[in-house]
């Protein structure tokens, strides 16, 4: 980000607490734009942003598109399934082709960890990582931090459990860094088969026993079982997984009255979270989705717009 002197958003590891606070403060301004009768500002008029998604997405892609439209940016849609990727065109040639048409930003999702870092070598545009393999999903972490702070205030000392398929989760990696940067205590919870072989460098503790931490949590953050990334069975059955590591109704009853239930989506009700628990008032899962638009407006504005400090929000309706 601009405070860190970079044009890209590739990893939460590139952001310090000041960077994150700058983004969250700007998000608050853009959330206000979203409540207007005409939720649109001219902040990125004349800028063009391309979406390059090699993996499926509902939330991330639609919220980036909504964010760009609210900022008056032009967008260039790229669909792998109807593109020349199917004729064998490489990622590099695809990026250089899109860049040649004139773009200011490119939002990339790819199954390969590090793909957005490579893309940043092949284009002059700002690159935003919308999820790369198991590696990083920085805007998910930012929208989760924003959502959590709206309910809990400062996150210093708050206890966050990230529960489930940690090993295959880019969300876990980004959120562990993000919550720790904001002063929270992060505990990873999962069976040995779903935790990384080494937690060296992770700012976290870990346990295999959700019941040992559930009463103490400020946030219980559930992860989807990512069967598409698992080469072999990691749990005996999904039913047993739900009993051992799912947020069942009984476990949700043990959470404190102010504790939040969070999930990045898409959810598998009845696996990592009981169906009725996902609909409880302290489950803020759809609120996370809504906040994703405002957070992505802030990120796009800081990277592509007049995000020089002091920030000129340029929020006047056109
Ligand atoms: N949370 C998230 O990244 O969802 P999508 O895969 O639908 O974008």
Q: What is the pLDDT of residues 234-257, one digit of tens each?
A: 788 999 999 999 999 999 999 999
Q: Is 46 helix (H, G, I), strand (E, B) or coil?
A: coil
Does the pLDDT value for residue 3 go beyond 60?
A: no
Per-residue pLDDT, 313: 43
Per-residue pLDDT, 1: 58
Per-residue pLDDT, 227: 72
60 lines ligand 1 (CB under 6 A): yes
Annotation: CATH topology of 138-288: Rossmann fold (3.40.50)
75 lines ligand 1 (CB under 6 A): no
19: burial class by Cβ within 10 Å (0-12, 13-18, 19+)? buried
Quick one: what percent of the chain has pLDDT higher than 90? 86
Per-residue pLDDT, 315: 44
Asked whether 159 and 213 are in contact (CB, 8 A), the reply is yes
Q: How confident is the model at residue 317 (pLDDT cuts 50, 70, 90)?
A: very low
Residue-wise pLDDT tens digits, 211-235: 999 999 999 999 998 777 776 777 8
118: burial class by Cβ within 10 Å (0-12, 13-18, 19+)? middle
Per-residue pLDDT, 318: 32
Token pair, residue 157, equals 């000392």
How far apart, in whole angstroms, are the C-alpha atoms of residue 262 and residue 276? 14
Token pair, residue 205, equals 């503790």
Domain boundaries, the chain: 12-137+292-304, 138-288
Does the pLDDT value for residue 17 go beyond 80?
A: yes
Per-residue pLDDT, 304: 95
Does the pLDDT value for residue 70 go beyond 50?
A: yes
Helix intervals (H) in 101-232 = 115-122, 138-152, 170-181
Q: For 69-83, 156-170, 204-218, which range has the lowest pLDDT when averaged over its residues?
A: 69-83
Q: Nearest 5°: CA angle at 288, between 184 and 133?
A: 80
How far apart, in whole angstroms, are the C-alpha atoms of residue 318 and residue 311? 19
Does the pLDDT value for residue 92 go beyond 50?
A: yes
Averaged pLDDT for residues 195-202: 93
Among 51, 52, 53, 59, say which to mutate for ligand 1: greatest number of ligand atoms within 8 Å of CB: 59
What are the residues whose beta carbons fall under 8 Å from the beta carbon of 249, sequence distance 6 or more?
Answer: 274, 276, 277
Q: How confident is the model at residue 5 (pLDDT cuts 50, 70, 90)?
A: low
Token pair, residue 318, equals 């056109």
Sign of CA dihedral 204, 207, 209, 212: negative
230 lines ligand 1 (CB under 6 A): no
- Report CA(150)–ligand 1 centroid distance (Å): 21
How far apart, in whole angstroms, are the C-alpha atoms of residue 62 and residue 302? 19
Residue-wise pLDDT tens digits, 127-160: 999 999 999 999 999 999 999 999 999 999 999 9
The separation between CA 281 and the C-alpha centre of its own chain, rounded to angstroms, equals: 22
Does the pLDDT value for residue 298 go beyond 50?
A: yes
Q: Whose CA is nearest to atom 4 of ligand 1?
A: 59
C-alpha distance from residue 303 to each of 73, 114, 258 (Å): 13, 20, 35
User: Residue 201, Cβ neighbours under 10 Å: how many?
Assistant: 9
Does the pLDDT value for residue 12 go beyond 70?
A: yes
The separation between CA 278 and the C-alpha centre of its own chain, rounded to angstroms, equals: 19
Q: Whose CA is nearest to atom 6 of ligand 1?
A: 57
Per-residue pLDDT, 18: 96
Does the pLDDT value for residue 185 go beyond 90?
A: yes
Pick the closest to residue 121 from 99, 89, 101, 102 (CA basis): 99
59 lines ligand 1 (CB under 6 A): yes
Report the nearest atom of ligand 1 relative to the CA of 60.
8
Instruction: Report, at the CATH architecture level, how domain 12-137+292-304 is classified.
Output: 3-Layer(aba) Sandwich (3.40)
Per-residue pLDDT, 312: 44
Averaged pLDDT for residues 166-185: 97
Per-residue pLDDT, 81: 85
Per-residue pLDDT, 212: 98
């Amino acid at each position: 980000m601009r405070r860190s002197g970079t044009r890209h958003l590739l990893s939460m590891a590139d952001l310090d607490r000041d960077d994150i606070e700058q983004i969250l403060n700007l998000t608050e301004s853009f959330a206000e734009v979203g409540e207007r009768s005409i939720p649109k500002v001219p902040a990125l008029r004349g800028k063009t942003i391309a979406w390059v998604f090699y993996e499926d997405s509902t939330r991330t892609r639609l919220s980036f598109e909504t964010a760009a439209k609210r900022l008056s940016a032009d967008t260039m849609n790229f669909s792998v399934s109807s593109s020349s990727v199917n004729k064998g065109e490489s990622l590099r040639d695809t990026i250089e082709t899109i860049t040649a048409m004139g773009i200011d930003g490119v939002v990339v999702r790819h199954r390969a960890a590090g793909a957005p870092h490579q893309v940043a070598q092949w284009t002059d545009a700002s690159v935003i990582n919308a999820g790369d393999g198991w590696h990083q999903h920085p805007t998910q972490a930012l929208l989760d931090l924003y959502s959590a702070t709206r309910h809990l205030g400062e996150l210093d000392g708050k206890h966050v459990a990230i529960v489930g398929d940690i090993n295959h989760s880019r969300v876990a990696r980004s959120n562990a860094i993000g919550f720790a940067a904001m002063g929270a205590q992060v505990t990873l919870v999962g069976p040995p088969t779903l935790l990384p072989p080494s937690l060296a460098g992770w700012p976290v503790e870990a346990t295999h026993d959700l019941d040992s931490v559930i009463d103490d949590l400020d946030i219980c953050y559930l992860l989807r079982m990512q069967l598409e990334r698992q080469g072999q069975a990691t749990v005996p059955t999904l039913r047993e997984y739900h009993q051992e590591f799912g947020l069942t109704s009984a476990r949700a009853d043990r959470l404190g009255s102010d504790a939040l239930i969070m999930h990045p989506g898409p959810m598998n009700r009845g696996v990592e979270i009981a169906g009725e628990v996902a609909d409880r008032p302290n489950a803020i899962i759809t609120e996370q989705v809504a906040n994703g638009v405002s957070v992505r407006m802030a990120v796009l504005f800081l990277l592509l717009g007049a995000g020089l400090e002091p920030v000129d929000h340029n929020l006047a309706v056109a």
